[in-house]
Amino acid sequence: MRFNIATLSAAIIAATAVALYAKKLDRPPPPPRESPRVAAPAPAAAPVQVARATDETPDALPEGKGRDETFYLCTACHGTAIISQQGMPRERWDESFDWMIEKHRMPDPGAADRALIVDYLAQAFPPRQQRGRTNPFLNR
């Protein structure tokens, strides 16, 4: 291969790019985002709940079948307000359930309890328009 000015500049450009890229990789990753609203996730599969994230009792949630199961599963990490501020159709509650398991390592309670709890959430916290508390000035 002939070594001309073009190959030489190409080599210099490539070397510079590699050096810049290596420098970029040197930087430490950004620190994980902390959420001040919730306690650190409880270790998965803890046999006994020693401490809860809230002083609330199940009656912090509206009456309904599955209320106690929902309360004890969901308040291991956060209070009920973070749940009751939401209003969603059943599919979205179902997705939130997966999100809690995958992202926040909520212990999976099994299919039967899952159905009970998602049913409860869907009937207790449906989309806002169905809850009779709509603000006529907010077009949502």
Please choose, out of 4-12, 54-62, 104-112, 128-136, the segment that lies near ligand HEC by the rule CB under 6 A.
104-112
- Shortest Cβ distance from residue 97 to ligand HEC (Å)? 5
Q: Please, which residue, 26 or 34, has the CB nearer to ligand HEC?
A: 34
Locate 21 and state its tokens.
């890229």
User: Residue 71: is it exposed, middle or buried by C-beta count within 10 angstroms (0-12/13-18/19+)?
Assistant: buried
- Site for ligand HEC contains 124 (CB under 6 A): no
Instruction: Choose the stretch contacting ligand HEC; rule: CB under 6 A; options: 14-22, 59-67, 81-89, 130-138.
Output: 81-89
Q: Does 82 bind ligand HEC (CB under 6 A)?
A: yes
Our finding on whether 54 is near ligand HEC (CB under 6 A) is no
86 binds ligand HEC (CB under 6 A): yes
Q: How many CB atoms lie within 10 A of CB 131?
A: 11
Taking the complex as a whole, how short is the minimal distance between the CB of residue 101 and ligand HEC, in angstroms? 8
Calculate the alpha carbon distances from 125 to 7, 40, 81, 94, 117 in Å. 67, 25, 12, 13, 12
Sign for the CA dihedral angle at 127, 129, 131, 135 comes to positive
Helix pair angle (111-124, 67-74), 10° resolution: 100
- Site for ligand HEC, rule CB under 6 A: 35, 37-38, 41-42, 73-74, 76-78, 82-83, 86, 96-97, 100, 104-106, 117, 121
